[in-house]
Amino acid sequence: MSSLLARFAENLYWLGRYLERAENTARILHINETYARDNPAGPDWRRVLDLYSDTERFFENHDQANARAVLDFYILDRGNPTSIAFSVANARENARTVRHLISTEMWTQINLFHNAMKAKTLPTIMLSQLSSVASGMVTHCQTFDGIADGTFLRGEPYSFYQLGKYLERADQTTRVLDIGYDRLSLQDPDAVSSVQWSTMLRSVSGYHAYRYRHPASSSPGDIATFLLYDTEFPRAVALCIQRVTERLHDLEQRHDKQRRDELEKPRRALEFAMDTGPGAKLTSKRLHQFLDNVQISLADMSNAIANAYFGHT
């Protein structure tokens, strides 16, 4: 692959990652607010900062982790590399660079989303409006992905877009599970079967899929297993890893064996992290440690892809 093509491949990879990141950040903000509606103290916004390892960066410019500050930080702050505004702006810039490789409809949709984000101000993202704001951003992302699915030529550019999308989705699903599971495991069985568990599943559009798999069960263990290992649910970590493996195989058909060998070690390490599992006796602490290991393996896989295909060292 030439350096020019490597640059385009990287643009497409990050287009997929940034849009998936924007969607899932909106989902996590929404789930955090929803979990706390019956809590007099309100949402634990520090929890979201910890989830993204943003605590130190956040407190460089903010005194308190309250709703106003955290929502501004994660929705509007373009200086924050984990914010939705940053993700959408960078997704659009990557799309602009590969304008000749994507469809007109994809380019139109990313511009619509970008303009919608530019129009948002702090008063428009108040806590009372978070549900509709987050849903709107998720809809923009899903619309783009649907357009890509229906118009993007299945070739090398598509493979890199999908690699970014599914690596990011796997990472984000582990974060949704991390933020929700400790709350689930602390509830009594009757409480688990109601608002808390359904909220977490709905945050990944998985409520009906889970109910199909488990018509009468809402145990924390079953929910965690579903989000981690169900290979037919689009946001399950195992399915995302399967899609990454498939796209890497597609790319192997176009490139030399040396690249495949570079990627095989981190790919197998990722599979091993999943196969190891959090243990038979599932606790919040064990699950958190397991999810940390999976996230590290996903990051290693991303770095290996960058080294093999984008010319990074």
- pLDDT, tens digit (0-9, with 9 covering 90-100), for 37-69: 656 556 688 889 988 989 999 999 999 999 999
The burial class, CB within 10 Å (0-12 / 13-18 / 19+), for 190 is exposed
Domain end: 152, 187, 206, which one?
152
CB 59 within 8 A of CB 167: no
| Secondary structure (H, E, C), 23-81 | HHHHHHHHHHHHHCCCCCCCCCHHHHHHHCCCHHHHCCCCCCCCHHHHHHHHHHCCCCC
Q: CA angle 53-173-272, nearest 5°?
A: 95
- Per residue in 248-274, pLDDT (tens digit) is 999 888 776 667 778 999 999 999 999
Residue 193: what pLDDT? 46
Do 10 and 130 fall into the same domain? Answer: yes
pLDDT score, position 42: 61
Question: What is the pLDDT at residue 217?
Answer: 76
The answer on pLDDT for 129 being more than 70 is: yes
Helix (H) or strand (E) holding 119: none
Same domain, 139 and 222: no
pTM > 0.95:
no
Q: Are residues 29 and 59 in the same domain?
A: yes
Average pLDDT, the chain: 89
162 in the same domain as 123 = no
> How many domains, in total, are found in the chain?
2
- Cα–Cα distance, 63 to 50 (Å, whole number): 16
Instruction: Yes or no: say if 94 and 12 are a contact pair by the CB < 8 Å rule.
Output: yes
Residue 42 sits in the same domain as residue 13: yes
- State the pLDDT at residue 128: 84
Is the domain of 7 the same as that of 49? yes
Q: Tell me what pLDDT residue 36 has.
A: 66
Q: Domain check: are 19 and 110 in the same one?
A: yes
2 and 148 assigned to the same domain: yes
Give the least confident one: 72-76, 83-87, 216-220.
Answer: 216-220
195 shares its domain with 304: yes
Please state, in angstroms and rounded to a whole number, the distance separating the CA atoms of residues 74 and 25.
Answer: 8
- Using pLDDT thresholds of 50, 70 and 90, give the confidence band for residue 196: confident
- Lowest pLDDT segment from 33-42, 109-118, 177-186, 295-304: 33-42
Residues 6+ apart with CB under 8 A from 39: none
- CA-nearest of 76, 30, 73 to 52 is 73
Question: What range does the domain containing 171 cover?
Answer: 154-313
Of 137, 152, 167, the residue at which a domain comes to its end is 152
Contact 244, 251 (CB under 8 A): no
Question: What DSSP designation does 2 have?
Answer: -
Q: In this structure, what are the phi and psi dihedrals at residue 171, rounded to the nearest 5 degrees?
A: -60, -45
Task: Record the tokens describing residue 16, joined without a space.
Answer: 């997929």
pLDDT of the residue at 103: 97
Task: Note whether 211 and 280 are same-domain residues.
Answer: yes
Q: Are 97 and 110 in contact (CB under 8 A)?
A: no
CA distance 260 to 303: 14
- Percent of the chain, pLDDT > 90? 65
Indicate whether 146 and 1 sit together in one domain. yes
Of 128, 152, 176, which one is at a domain's C-terminal end?
152
93 and 167 belong to one structural domain? no
| CA separation for the pair 158, 272 (Å, rounded) | 27
